[in-house]
Amino acid sequence: MRWSSRFGVLAVAALLTTAEPASAQSIRGKVLDAGQGGGIPAADVVVSRPGGRLVARVRTDSTGAFVVRLDEAEGVWVRASALGYTPGDSSWVSLESVTEMVEVELRLAPGPLEIEGFTIVARGLDLRHRATFAGFLDRHETALDVGSARVLSIDDPEMATAGNVGDVLKWLPTERAGCTVVYVDGIAQPNLDVQRFVMQGVAGIEFYVTQMDAPLELRDGGPPCQRALDWTVLALWRTR
């Protein structure tokens, strides 16, 4: 039996062998309430390869259980999230043979869920929707790390231990558009090798799965995405 935990997510992995070779590897698991221990229904479970490539995305059943079948014997990241819970960190699961089945438990801590109404603002004037460093700071102050958007600063754990931007991308949503527009300090950088962009001097990172979630000034579908219908937005902000 192998035990693995990281940033509050507990993964329990047990190797099961069968008399006949299986056609694919499987991950079977449960998403549990870290406080009460019960299963969390309708939780999202995302399985991805190193580098962020999406492998599978499933939802738990009424008991918090899920099953994912894989076609290759290779290690994957498994992450769970659910409404009303703090998003858990990814847990590494190693699949080393075609006959292997791994059992995983992912525990999520309850988080505050407050809905008090709606506030309508003028997007053209609100700094939260401006492609400026001040706009980034305001978005980070009010952002919720749910859904398809992430607004991170150097104080967040995803950035604090990263050596380059590629390390941060491992913790971001893996369901992405086929093309990515990269901005540095609000200016598009179509030729930037973002995977190797070092974290020294980077004050923040904004990530949007689709450009429609991004601030208005970060929606330009220029190179290399001028012909795409949808694209992911990645914005880097350097220390002031």
Q: Look at the pTM and tell me if it is higher than 0.75.
A: no
Q: Higher confidence at residue 19 or residue 202?
A: 202
Question: What percent of the chain clears pLDDT 90, i.e. is strictly above it?
Answer: 15
Q: Higher confidence at residue 42 or residue 18?
A: 42
Asked if the model's pLDDT at residue 122 lies above 50, the reply is: no
Please identify which residue in the block is written with the tokens 């190193």: 50
- pLDDT in the model for residue 123: 46
Mean pLDDT confidence for 6-13: 38
Per-position b or e across 65-96, b if 16+ CB within 10 A of its CB:
ebebebeeeeebbbbbbbeebbbbbbbebebe
- pLDDT in the model for residue 113: 60
Asked if the model's pLDDT at residue 12 lies above 50, the reply is: no
CA–CA dist 218, 235 (Å, integer): 8
Confidence of residue 4 (pLDDT cuts 50, 70, 90): very low
- pLDDT in the model for residue 108: 92
Q: What is the pLDDT of residues 59-98, one digit of tens each?
A: 999 999 999 888 776 788 899 988 888 877 778 887 766 5
Asked if the model's pLDDT at residue 8 lies above 50, the reply is: no
Q: Mean pLDDT in the chain?
A: 77
- CB distance 138 to 128 below 8 Å: yes
Question: What percent of the chain clears pLDDT 70, i.e. is strictly above it?
Answer: 77
- pLDDT in the model for residue 54: 85
Domains of the chain, with CATH numbers?
2-108 (2.60.40.10), 127-238 (2.170.130)
Asked if the model's pLDDT at residue 115 lies above 70, the reply is: no
Q: Which of 24-28, 43-47, 56-60, 168-172 is least confident?
A: 24-28
Question: What is the strand order of the sheet 149-153 is part of?
Answer: 149-153, 202-208, 232-238, 180-184, 187-188
- pLDDT in the model for residue 20: 39
132 DSSP β-pair partners:
none
